Amino acid sequence: MGWDFETEPDFQRELDWIASFVREQVEPLDLVLVGSQYDKRDEQAMNAIRPLQDAVRDRGLWACHLGPELGGRGYGQVKLALMNEILGRSRWAPSIFGCQPPDSGNAEILAHYGTEAQKNQYLQPLLDGTIASCYSMTEPHAGADPTLFTTRAVRDGDEWVISGEKWFSSNARYATFLIVMAVSNPDVDPYKGMSMFIVPADAPGVEIVRNIAVPMHTETREGDHAYLRYNDVRVPSDHLLGDEGGAFVIAQTRLGGGRIHHAMRTIAEINKAFDMMCERAISRETRNGPLGSLQMVQERIADSWIEILQFRLLVLHAAWLIDRHQDYKKVRKNIAAVKVAMPKVYHDVVQRAMHLHGAIGVSNEMPFNGMMVAAEVMGIADGPTEVHKVTIARQVLRDYTPAEGVWPSQHLPAREAAARAQYAHLIEHIVGNE
């Protein structure tokens, strides 16, 4: 049998170390470091996390999503899933383990498509954790639909001139460079007319119009998601990432992994909410005993446990398929399914946990409000849920063929007639002997 739901003992020991390390050393940082984990200029935060990063490196667990040639372990997606469902418990943990988004995705495409010069200038410092990056793709009028993008990149001698606006470019305020998707040839199909560019954040013409905050990120006065304007920004021709017109291929390489990794980390957040729910159920006393003795509460706990397990298995199965095929295109339907399921499970479990806590649950003394917003973010980030449902349906329907003739293939009268014809000799023999 090829089925196995056990983890190798050696890797389980690593997971046990990660769980203990995150719980005891990393999660407390969420309560005392109020700045952004992407702000490399925050000396207090950097001084706090560097010893922890060194401990991770000493353990050989730094940037495990990358291959050995880039200083990682080259772990497949199943192992990364088992790691990330622990790391997701803390907003600082991914940075301490060298796998924080969007830097991890940007590092992946630089490793795949970058020139040696680009890797030396941008990839290596990113892998070392000394700089931050930004993925600048969506636009104010178009959202996540790239076919509607209008940001232009025009070749001018040995330079590209980039003009346009980008929306929700996360961490631009902390980034050393931005990876920008722009229309380089408006006269061809959008899927062939866009290119990716590496843009230094300090290039003349890069303007942060404003930074937008999401309520779950209330640690800083100003948000971390930038509304950007590129005012005739000039970059050298060697800052083209990959081939001209190859932006869609690069984007799918990046987003496929990003979506599944979001789901992996979200499992940790959902489990935190579930743990709080269960603790409340056995701690809070009513006149008839603890909340957990009430059938309606038991139903909510049972529903949550089942939904979490279903979602986790869906994520692990998608991760297993990625490892097996080594091609995100072949697993597109499964990744989309994970993306669709994620915000609903997240929202439903958090809502039940919040409700069970009563007044304190909706207050700022518990983390549920931020988690509820985070659940909605997961329904929008990397493409809205509705788009992924369309992807799933189209992929599923490709495996089916139309029925022949007027009747459905399972039409009972037609099937019965066919069955009688198939077994006519046997039926006649039985009738003749009666």
Question: Distances from the Cα of 91 to the Cαs of 45, 126, 212, 239, 289, in angstroms?
Answer: 13, 18, 19, 31, 36
The predicted structure's pLDDT at residue 221: 53
Domain definitions of the chain by residue range:
9-114, 133-241, 249-397
Task: Say if CB 205 and CB 232 are below 8 A apart.
Answer: yes
Angle between helices 332-356 and 385-397 (to 10 degrees): 140
pTM, entire model: 0.90
| Res 167 pLDDT > 80 | yes
Give the mean model confidence (pLDDT) for residues 368-389.
92
Average pLDDT, the chain: 92
pLDDT at residue 76, rounded to an integer: 92
Q: From residue 387, how far is each of 125, 145, 192, 305, 347 by CA, in Å?
A: 35, 10, 21, 28, 19
Residue 23 DSSP one-character state: I
Interval 48-64 mean pLDDT? 95
Per CATH, 133-241 and 249-397 having the same topology is answered no
Instruction: Please check the confidence at residue 217 and state whether its pLDDT lies above 70.
Output: no
Per DSSP, 143 falls in state B
Mean pLDDT along residues 19-46: 94
Question: In a 10 Å sphere around its CB, with 0-12 CB exposed, 13-18 middle and 19+ buried, how is residue 346 labelled?
Answer: buried
- CA–CA separation, 17 and 432 (whole Å): 75
Mean pLDDT value of segment 64-76: 87
In this prediction, what percent of the chain has a pLDDT beyond 70?
Answer: 96
pLDDT of residue 47: 95
CATH class of 133-241: mainly beta
What pLDDT, in 10s, does the model give residues 178-200? 999 999 999 999 899 999 999 99
Check residue 54 and give its pLDDT. 96
pLDDT at 432: 58
433 falls in which pLDDT band (50, 70, 90)? low
Under the banding of pLDDT at 50, 70 and 90, the label for residue 145 is confident
**What's the rounded mean pLDDT across residues 315-338?**
93
**Whole-number Cα distances in Å, 258 to 338, 357, 361:** 12, 33, 31
pLDDT exceeds 90 at position 340: yes
**Nearest C-alpha neighbor of 338 from the set 378, 300, 306:** 378
CATH fold of 249-397: Butyryl-CoA Dehydrogenase, subunit A; domain 3 (1.20.140)
Query: CATH for 9-114, among 1.10.540.10, 2.40.50.100, 1.10.150.120, 3.40.1350.10?
Result: 1.10.540.10
**pLDDT for 169:** 95
DSSP 139: B
Q: How confident is the model at residue 71 (pLDDT cuts 50, 70, 90)?
A: confident
Structure confidence at residue 143 as a pLDDT band (50, 70, 90): confident
